[in-house]
Amino acid sequence: MIEVEMKIKISENDFLKLEKELSVKGKRKIEENMDDLYFQHPCRDFKVTDEALRIRRCNSDLFITYKGPKLGKEMKTREEIEFKIEDFDKAKRAFEKLGFIPVAHVKKRRISYKYGDYTISLDKVNQLGTFLEIECEVLNETEIKEKEDKIKSFLINTLGIKEFKSIRKSYLEMLLEKNNI
């Protein structure tokens, strides 16, 4: 699976406005509290290879996620492999036994809506602020540009956001940068 995602920083007021609008326009998916523990590979620098490995606690569910290097030039589009696990502490210990080093916790509250092919998420990220993410999935790289254009159009024409700057950095990258790590 390739996840095509546009992320933009929004104000708290815009967050509340969009939450109200999307409750009417879209189908509310779920409200989630996410706690992501990210790891550094023992033999290669994920900052250089633009990859990520995390254990996610999402409400009562647990996942391991690998994120490949970004593919698009404007949005945060990348391969993602995610699977459910049963025990956070055992997964963490196994990673550490293999030499993986925990580097950061990213904590956020996410409210997600389904709107056609899109998942729209309103995120409140500890230490970083409020964000809007619009994402969809594609099966291969040839579909990326078309989906990126559709996401921009959706943002402008459906959500009414005319001025925006797409953020390619992950929350992890922004948090590490903010904390000079």
> How do the pLDDT tens digits run along the chain, 181 residues long?
888 999 999 999 999 999 988 888 777 778 999 999 999 999 999 999 999 999 999 999 999 999 999 987 788 889 999 999 999 999 999 999 999 999 999 999 999 998 888 999 999 999 999 999 999 988 888 888 888 999 999 888 988 888 888 899 999 999 999 988 7
Q: Where are the alpha helices (DSSP H) in 52-115?
A: 88-97
| Per annotation, catalytic residue among 38, 113, 118, 171 | 38
Distance CA 5, CA 22 (A): 18
Cα three-residue angle 72-3-111, rounded to 5 degrees: 120
For the 2-175 domain, the top CATH level (class) is mainly beta
- Indicate if 118 belongs to the active site: no
The pLDDT, as a whole number, for residue 169 is: 92
Both tokens of 122, joined, read 């309103």
At a CB cut-off of 8 Å and minimum separation 6, what does 102 contact? 37, 38, 39, 40, 92, 95, 96
Domain boundaries, the chain: 2-175
